[in-house]
Amino acid sequence: DVYSAMASGGKKIKNVDVCTLGDEWLAPAISNGLILPLGSCERSAWYNGLSPIWQALVRRDPRSGAMSTSGEVYGAPYRFGCSMLAYRKDKLPKGVPPPRDWSDL
């Protein structure tokens, strides 16, 4: 994938001007210098149309990648949702309790 290739530095990434990056990868990508902030988007209509909560989500500290209200804008939210965990009871080994969260996997 693009993130792994960028992080390893071993493979040249060509023609990647825009990509989607999940929130879990955003902080490491910022702190490792793999992506740049969007620049002066604070003056744009799309940014000013965001609620303060969404504006805070896309602002990150350029050193750590952590959310920061005084940080730079590194992304534009385009969707939200949740992931679910589904399993088949008949495939669980006998005596093993069903998973309750991702850490049980």
Task: Examine residue 68 and state whether it is found in any structural domain, yes or no.
Answer: yes
Structural domain of residue 24, as residue ranges? Answer: 2-77
pLDDT tens-digit profile of 3-59? 676 667 655 666 566 777 777 888 998 998 888 898 888 889 989 999 998 898 889
pLDDT at position 17: 67
Task: Examine residue 42 and state whether it is found in any structural domain, yes or no.
Answer: yes
pLDDT at position 89: 81
Task: Examine residue 102 and state whether it is found in any structural domain, yes or no.
Answer: no
Of 105 and 47, the structure prediction assigns the larger pLDDT to 47
Q: What are phi and psi of 46, to 5 degrees?
A: -65, -40
Task: Examine residue 53 and state whether it is found in any structural domain, yes or no.
Answer: yes
Task: Examine residue 45 and state whether it is found in any structural domain, yes or no.
Answer: yes
Domain count, the chain: 1
Q: What are phi and psi of 59, to 5 degrees?
A: -90, 125
pLDDT at position 14: 60
pLDDT at 76 over 80: yes
Task: Examine residue 85 and state whether it is found in any structural domain, yes or no.
Answer: no
Q: What are phi and psi of 73, to 5 degrees?
A: -85, 120
pLDDT at position 97: 87
Query: Residue 39 region, left (φ>0) first, then alpha (ψ -120 to 50), else beta?
Result: left
Task: Examine residue 55 and state whether it is found in any structural domain, yes or no.
Answer: yes
User: What pTM did the predictor assign?
Assistant: 0.61
Q: What are phi and psi of 47, to 5 degrees?
A: -70, -45
pLDDT at position 7: 67
In the numeric block, the tokens 């040249």 are attached to 12
